[in-house]
């Protein structure tokens, strides 16, 4: 969905860039300077011949003055402002995105980078504090250094040593230095960053989602059984934790494809207008399975782009397939009104809700969600609950008012929301 760009601000910007006076431009297009002033301050709409005439005088394409700012870009810019934790002119976010799209894109990219680095720092902090292998390596380094220091302090002391004792201390220092070198190399190898650049700039789950996003989360090799999940993982080029996460996804994908083969399911989806409840009834399949299969339908074969979000019982997002305008924070603090989280309080009950983000022209989505208990693998262990939500962008007009949701409380302008956890940033 596209928001109307502030054409007046763009006209004023281009006029000033060319050093033209307001009166000169107004005279050239046959309007009064006061009317042009109202246009430049976005108090009068503009279009048709007048827009073309002004664009001609400013020597720009008319589309450059009116092209839209995507709701997704605007949401990302507001989310970036939410990270600052100080007064930010959020009311001017749309104007900034309209007038300076390059700087806005840079701001969004830097905010993502900062968020990724903060998460990596937390992971490394936990690793430094609780990793037994790291603690053992550091202990070995400290032990070797202490031994070398002890032996060398004796050698440089005032006490006279005979040649035999001096030789023994020299030998001890030599052996301890070899031990220090070996333990230091092991420690450096353990802490060394992976060589894959993608591993350095994103979290493992983001690497998996980026890889799956190349095919819109559709794995054709698993649909026709020409490859195994292990084959998909090996051919992905991922490594480390990302490879493990992809293996889990591919294994579930293969099971889902076997239970609901693509050809009949895709045909039925078109016939039933992608209604998960109707599809679950026709195939006698679990609701969560149907949601996952709908999200895996290939867009290139005429199916609509459908988003998918999965979270655990703590509300932590473990997988996300995005669609334009849809955003749920991965690191926590998401709006609790999304059906994804509401389903956790009603396990086993399918939910269907129209939701709308804040703003007059904000995007609206149709969401299907369900929380299901995963099969237990041992006795006396509480079942693992997983919530799944399918997201349909730009659905038909709902029969009732959509549920008002937000991205997170810090950037949500809904002042009277009873679920608010913290005040919104000033100026929102």
pLDDT digits over 81-101, tens only?
766 655 666 666 666 766 677
Indicate whether 427 pLDDT > 50: no
Indicate whether 264 pLDDT > 50: yes
Indicate whether 239 pLDDT > 70: yes
Give 2's pLDDT tier (boundaries 50, 70, 90): very low
Give 259's pLDDT tier (boundaries 50, 70, 90): very high
**Predicted pLDDT of residue 129:** 54
**Predicted pLDDT of residue 134:** 64
**Predicted pLDDT of residue 96:** 72
**Predicted pLDDT of residue 90:** 64
pLDDT (tens digit, 9 = 90+) per residue, 337-362?
A: 999 999 999 999 999 999 988 876 67
Task: Return the higher-pLDDT residue of 320 and 72.
Answer: 320
**Predicted pLDDT of residue 326:** 79
**Predicted pLDDT of residue 3:** 37
> What is the rounded average pLDDT of the residues 43-71?
74
**Ramachandran angles phi, psi of 413, nearest 5°:** -85, 5
**Predicted pLDDT of residue 193:** 45
**Cβ-based neighbour number of residue 261 at 10 Å:** 14
**Predicted pLDDT of residue 147:** 83
Least confident of 35-49, 244-258, 284-298, 387-401: 35-49
Strand 307-312 to 317-321 pairing: antiparallel
- The C-alpha atoms of residue 210 and residue 222 are separated, in whole angstroms, by 18
Least Cα distance to 191 among 142, 131, 119 occurs for: 131
Give 14's pLDDT tier (boundaries 50, 70, 90): confident
Least Cα distance to 157 among 169, 145, 175 occurs for: 169
Indicate whether 17 pLDDT > 70: yes
Determine if residue 33 is left, alpha or beta; phi over 0 gives left, psi from -120 to 50 gives alpha, anything else beta: alpha
Give 363's pLDDT tier (boundaries 50, 70, 90): confident
Residues in the chain, total: 428
> What is the rounded average pLDDT of the residues 148-156?
83
**Predicted pLDDT of residue 269:** 95
Indicate whether 274 pLDDT > 90: yes
**Predicted pLDDT of residue 201:** 43
Indicate whether 115 pLDDT > 80: no
Indicate whether 200 pLDDT > 50: no
Confirm if 379 and 387 have CB atoms less than 8 A apart.
no
* Half-sphere CA count of 77, side-chain side, radius 13 A: 24
Determine if residue 21 is left, alpha or beta; phi over 0 gives left, psi from -120 to 50 gives alpha, anything else beta: beta
Give 4's pLDDT tier (boundaries 50, 70, 90): very low
> What is the rounded average pLDDT of the residues 49-53?
83
């Amino acid at each position: 969905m596209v928001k109307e760009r502030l054409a007046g601000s763009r006209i004023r910007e281009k006029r000033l860039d060319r050093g033209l006076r307001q009166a000169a431009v107004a005279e050239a297009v046959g309007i009064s300077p006061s009317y042009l002033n109202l246009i430049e301050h976005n108090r009068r709409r503009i279009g048709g011949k007048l827009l073309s005439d002004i664009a001609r005088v400013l020597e720009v394409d008319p589309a450059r003055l009116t092209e839209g700012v995507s709701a997704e870009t605007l949401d990302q810019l507001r989310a970036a402002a939410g990270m600052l934790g100080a007064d930010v002119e959020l009311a001017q976010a749309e104007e900034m995105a309209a007038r300076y799209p390059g700087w806005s894109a840079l701001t969004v990219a830097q905010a993502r980078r900062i968020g990724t680095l903060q998460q990596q720092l937390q992971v490394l902090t936990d690793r430094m504090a609780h990793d037994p292998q790291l603690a053992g390596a550091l202990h070995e380094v400290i032990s070797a250094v202490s031994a070398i220091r002890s032996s060398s302090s004796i050698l440089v002391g005032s006490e006279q040593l005979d040649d035999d004792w001096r030789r023994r201390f020299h030998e001890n220092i030599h052996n301890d230095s070899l031990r220090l070198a070996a333990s230091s190399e092991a420690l450096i190898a353990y802490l060394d960053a992976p060589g894959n650049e993608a591993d350095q700039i994103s979290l493992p789950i983001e690497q998996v989602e980026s890889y799956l996003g190349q095919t819109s989360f559709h794995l054709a090799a698993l649909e026709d059984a020409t490859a195994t999940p292990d084959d998909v993982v090996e051919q992905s080029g991922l490594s480390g934790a990302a490879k493990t996460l992809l293996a889990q996804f591919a294994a579930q994908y293969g099971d889902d494809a076997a239970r609901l083969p693509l050809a009949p399911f895709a045909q039925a989806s078109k016939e039933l207008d992608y209604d998960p409840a109707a599809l679950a009834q026709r195939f006698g399949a679990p609701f969560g399975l149907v949601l996952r299969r709908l999200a895996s339908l290939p867009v290139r074969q005429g199916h609509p782009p459908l988003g998918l979000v999965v979270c655990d019982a703590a509300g932590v997002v473990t997988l996300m397939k995005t669609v334009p305008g849809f955003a749920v924070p991965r690191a926590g603090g998401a709006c609790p009104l999304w059906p994804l989280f509401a389903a956790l309080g009603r396990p086993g009950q399918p939910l269907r809700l129209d939701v709308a983000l804040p703003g007059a022209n904000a995007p609206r989505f149709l969401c299907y969600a369900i929380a299901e208990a995963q099969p237990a693998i041992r006795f006396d262990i509480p079942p693992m609950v997983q919530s799944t939500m399918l997201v349909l962008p730009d659905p038909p007009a709902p029969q009732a008012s959509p549920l008002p949701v937000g991205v997170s409380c810090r950037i949500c302008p809904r002042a009277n929301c009873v679920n608010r956890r913290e005040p919104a940033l000033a100026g929102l």
